[in-house]
C-alpha cells in the first residue's frame, strides 16, 4: 500500500541501440491493475501522445489546484464500514444473478449450444513456481505479412498470432528435450465491455481458454484448428458467468488474501498442481495512425503483462503502424535464453507464411528473416 498505483519513466541515451533513430527516448509506464485493464490501458497511450508532431497550443485556462490530505482514522473507519455494507449487498445481488446465470449456462452446455472450454494441458517448463527475476524480448513482423496469412487461411489476425506462439513454444521445449505429452493451451484475456452491460468498473476483463494445437505439425492445419478453438472460446466466454470470477477477490479481506498468497509462494504450491494453461496471450489494439510525443514519432511499442503462479510466460500482441509486435515476458529460470525463443517465433511465422503461399510463389520464395532485432 506504500507504493504508487502508477509510475512513469523517461529513458534517454539510446543512440547506440541498432535500428533506433538518433536522439530517441523511451517512456516506461507501470500501472496497477486496480486502475485499468488492458483495454483501458491503451487510453494511457493516447493521453501520452499527440496526433501530430506540433499540435496547436492549448487555450489558456485557469489552473486547477487540487489539495489532498491523508485521511484520519475515523474517516477510514467510516468509509470502510459504508463500503463493507455496499460490498455485502453487491455480493448478495451478484450471488443471485450468478446462480441464475450458472443455471442458464449449464443448460446451454447440456444442449450443446455452448462449447466446453479447453482447459487441460500437459505440464511444461513454464508451469511451476514463478521466481522474482524476469527476462524480456520481442519479435516484430510486417503487418502486411500477417494480413496476407490471415486472408489466405480465412482466419483472424489474433489466430495467426496464437498459431505462431504455439509453434514457437513447441519448438522451444522440444529443443530442450521436453516434448509435451499433449496440446499446449493459452489463456486469452477477453474485453467484456462490448459483451456485457456497461458499468464504470475499472476492470472489465474475463479470461477464456483455447488450445494451441501444438500436436498438429502442419502449420496451416494448426492455424485453422486454432481459429476454431478461439471462436468456441469466445462463445463460451461471452455466455459464461465464470469469466467474472476475478471480481471475487475484491470481496475477500486483504489480510486473508495476503496470507494465502504468502503460503502459496512459501510452499511452492504451483509445482504440486496439474497444469491447465501453458501461457497467457493478450491482444491490445492500437490506433492505426502515427502517434507523437514531444514532437517525436513513436516507432515501437512493447507491452509487459503479469506472471501468475504456475504460468511463467506471457505474450502480448500489439499492432501499430505497419508492424505487429509479439512481446515476451517470462521467468528467468524457465526461459534463460530469450533471444533463442525470439528466433523460434520468427521461424514459426516463416513456416506459416511459406505454407500459406500458392505453390508457384512458395517455390520461388526465399526464406528471409521476417523480424528484426530490437532493444
Q: What residues have CB less than 8 Å from 187, skipping those under 6 apart? A: 207, 208, 209, 277, 279, 280, 281, 311
Q: Decide the pairing of beta strands 134-142 and 323-331.
A: antiparallel
Note whether 227 and 155 are within 8 A (CB): yes
Structure-derived torsion over alpha carbons of residues 340, 369, 184, 328, reported in degrees to the nearest 10: 60
The pLDDT tens digits of the residues spanning 63-73 come to 777 777 788 88
Angle, in degrees to the nearest 10, between helices 143-153 and 219-239: 90
150 pLDDT tier (thresholds 50, 70, 90): very high
Alpha carbon of residue 125 to chain centroid: 20
Average pLDDT value for the chain: 80
The pLDDT tens digits of the residues spanning 90-107 come to 666 655 555 555 565 566
Predicted TM-score (pTM) above 0.85: no
Q: What cell was used for 88?
A: 455485502
162 pLDDT tier (thresholds 50, 70, 90): very high
Q: What are phi and psi of 192, to 5 degrees?
A: -95, 0
Cell 543512440 locates to 15
CATH of 115-364, one of 3.40.50.1400, 3.40.50.2300, 3.30.559.30, 3.40.50.920: 3.30.559.30
Alpha carbon of residue 169 to chain centroid: 16
Q: What cell was used for 43?
A: 487510453
* Residue 317: pLDDT over 80: yes
Sign of the alpha-carbon torsion through 197, 198, 203, 204: positive
* Domain residue ranges in the chain: 115-364
Q: Decide the pairing of beta strands 279-284 and 313-320.
A: parallel
2 pLDDT tier (thresholds 50, 70, 90): confident
Note whether 348 and 370 are within 8 A (CB): no
- The partner residues of 329 in beta bridges, in order of sequence, read 136, 314
Note whether 202 and 34 are within 8 A (CB): yes
- Measuring CA to CA, how many Å separate 332 from each of 36, 132, 133? 27, 8, 6
> Rounded distance, CA 136 to CA 305, Å?
11
Amino acid at each position: 500500500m506504500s507504493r504508487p498505483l502508477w509510475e512513469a519513466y523517461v529513458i534517454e541515451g539510446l543512440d547506440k541501440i541498432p535500428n533506433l533513430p538518433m536522439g530517441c527516448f523511451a517512456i516506461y509506464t507501470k500501472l496497477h491493475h486496480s486502475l485499468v485493464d488492458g483495454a483501458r490501458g491503451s487510453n494511457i497511450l493516447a493521453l501520452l501522445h499527440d496526433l501530430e508532431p506540433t499540435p496547436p497550443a492549448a487555450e489558456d485556462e485557469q489552473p486547477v489546484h487540487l489539495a489532498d490530505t491523508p485521511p484520519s482514522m475515523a474517516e477510514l473507519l467510516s468509509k470502510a464500514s459504508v463500503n463493507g455494507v455496499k460490498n455485502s449487498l453487491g455480493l448478495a445481488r451478484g450471488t443471485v444473478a450468478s446462480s441464475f446465470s450458472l443455471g442458464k449456462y449449464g443448460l446451454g452446455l447440456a444442449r450443446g449450444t455452448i462449447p466446453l472450454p479447453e482447459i487441460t494441458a500437459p505440464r511444461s517448463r513454464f508451469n511451476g513456481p514463478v521466481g522474482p527475476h524476469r527476462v524480456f524480448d520481442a519479435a516484430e513482423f510486417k503487418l502486411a505479412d500477417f494480413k496476407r496469412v490471415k486472408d489466405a487461411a480465412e482466419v483472424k489476425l489474433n489466430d495467426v498470432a496464437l498459431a505462431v506462439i504455439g509453434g514457437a513454444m513447441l519448438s522451444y521445449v522440444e529443443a530442450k528435450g521436453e516434448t509435451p505429452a499433449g496440446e499446449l493451451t493459452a489463456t486469452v484475456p477477453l474485453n467484456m465491455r462490448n459483451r456485457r452491460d456497461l458499468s464504470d468498473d475499472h476492470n472489465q476483463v474475463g479470461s477464456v481458454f483455447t488450445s494451441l494445437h501444438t500436436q498438429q505439425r502442419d502449420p496451416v492445419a494448426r492455424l485453422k484448428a486454432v481459429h476454431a478453438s478461439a471462436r468456441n472460446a469466445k462463445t463460451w466466454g461471452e455466455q459464461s458467468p465464470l469469466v467474472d470470477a476475478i471480481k471475487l477477490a475484491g470481496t475477500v479481506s486483504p489480510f486473508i488474501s495476503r496470507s494465502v498468497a504468502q503460503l502459496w509462494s512459501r510452499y511452492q504450491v504451483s509445482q504440486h498442481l496439474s497444469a491447465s494453461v501453458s501461457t497467457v496471450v493478450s491482444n491490445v489494439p492500437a490506433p492505426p495512425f502515427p502517434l507523437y510525443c514531444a514532437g517525436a514519432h513513436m516507432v515501437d511499442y512493447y507491452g509487459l503483462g503479469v506472471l501468475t503462479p504456475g504460468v511463467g510466460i506471457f505474450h502480448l500482441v500489439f499492432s501499430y503502424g505497419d508492424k505487429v509486435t509479439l512481446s515476451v515476458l517470462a521467468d528467468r529460470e524457465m526461459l534463460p535464453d530469450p533471444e533463442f525463443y525470439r528466433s523460434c517465433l520468427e521461424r514459426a511465422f516463416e513456416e506459416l507464411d511459406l505454407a500459406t503461399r500458392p505453390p508457384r510463389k512458395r517455390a520461388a520464395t526465399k526464406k528471409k528473416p521476417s523480424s528484426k532485432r530490437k532493444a
